[in-house]
Amino acid sequence: MDRIVITGGAPLNGTIPIFGAKNSALKLQAAALLSADPVMLENMPDLADTRFMAQLLNTLGVEITWIKETHTLRMHAAEIVSTIAPYDQVRKMRASFNVLGPLLARAGHATVSLPGGCAIGARPVDLHLKAFEAMGADIVIEQGYVKAAALRGLKGAEIDFPFVSVGATEHAMLAAVLAHGDTVLKNTAREPEIIDLADCLNAMGAKVEGAGTSEIRIKGVAKLSGVKHPVVADRIEAGTYAMAAAAAGGNVLLSGARFEHLGAMLKFLRDAGVRVEAEGRGIRVQRKLTDRMNAVDFETEPFPGFPTDLQAQAMALMCMADGVSRIKETIFENRFMHAPELARLGAKIEVHGNEAVVTGVPKLVGAPVMATDLRASVSLVVAGLAAEGETTVNRVYHLDRGFEKLEAKLQACGAQIVREREDQAA
């Protein structure tokens, strides 16, 4: 098993390229099932999660071609050879559950395992299934599998989500584009990844309006064509490296990052005393090592609020801030599992339910720590870059689910960070 070893204290200076968004790419991969023509995704991140999804799609009959040199993925679902997504594949990553809607829309039936994924609290799929039932699907759950059928095709419906859900919004979109008639989705999520999915579907011939607002209208079409579509830049990757630059100090350009997608996070950094500004097609982040950061209170919210996927990284920053910050997690329960690990580096954190109180300390000191989930693991890297001495982050397979070439990108900016295998370390 791999581990990452960081010798902290080196400022970051240089350029970090931001790749395509994992959270968008996975849904765009699922969209390939909707057409018998080739779908080409450019700016495609090469991650454990996107590879898992490609393997699942291949099981269903999709011809997969990775062109790694140009970050391009070609998918061709000329024929659906299976409508069963088995437990062994779906359990690895909950986003793979999103093949259900496209299979149901194109083939009329599907059997998909209930999903797995990170241990950051319950993330039920009830809203997904209720949306499909509203579109006329018959659904039964047996032995851990969802068995869904709409043999005469899905029908347009009005679906009012009881709370904002990115996953349910995207999944309903994937099914509704081939439904008979019109679908109206209300109280929808507004994330940039949803706009990216709508742009790709429309380029395939779908009729989706309102993505990025709280109401999306979809006119069903008989079929979709192929497409070449660039995956939107990953705002979570960009935010993570912005936090890393702030933690370590220095001057970093995040090439390809979208300023307009990171408003709440950029405000947080500015309030903390970090200099951030748009520059060309990217974002520049600067902090002098002599300037201690200010403590900032924040809470996670659906877009355009502060992203839950950047909460752990922001907490790592606040561990070194001057003063006390209060952090409230409103999206997922059980998403403060990184707090005890940050405490091993000398952080002072008190967790009370969905709130954490962080009292900043003058410095962190390196220690062995363990990753518990994707975003928690990278928060330990952020902290390790600033800590005195050596920090060893164990169980970094979580990192590989969402960050491509993390060590290489940080090394290029001066970080002292290496990946080791246990046998190498021994």
Q: Which residues are annotated as a binding site for UDP-N-acetyl-alpha-D-glucosamine?
A: 94, 123-127, 309, 331
Q: Which residues contact 402 (CB under 8 A, 6 or more apart)?
A: 22, 47, 49, 236, 237, 374, 375, 378
Least Cα distance to 107 among 128, 81, 142, 141 occurs for 81
Look up residue 50 and give its amino acid.
Answer: T
- In sign, the C-alpha dihedral spanning 78, 79, 81, 82 is positive
Q: Which residues lie closer than 8 Å to 257 by C-beta, 6 or more apart? A: 18, 233, 235, 238, 242, 282, 283
| Contact between residue 58 and residue 64 where contact means Cβ atoms under 8 Å apart | yes
Distance CA 61, CA 55 (A): 10
Cβ count near 403 (within 10 Å): 25
Q: Write out the binding residues for phosphoenolpyruvate.
A: 22-23
What sign has the CA pseudo-torsion 377, 381, 386, 392?
positive
Question: Taking each helix axis from N to C terminus, what angle separates 374-386 and 235-248, rounded to the nearest 10 degrees?
Answer: 20
Euclidean distance between CA atoms 200 and 311, whole angstroms: 29
Q: Give the separation between CA 300 and CA 321, rounded to whole angstroms.
A: 19
> Residue 214's CB: how many other CB atoms inside 10 A?
14
CB 80 within 8 A of CB 107: yes
Structure tokens, 38: 């080739």
Query: Is-catalytic flag, 118?
Result: yes
Measured distance CA(222)–CA(160) in Å, rounded? 24
* Count of positions (residues) in the chain: 426
- The residues that are catalytic are 118
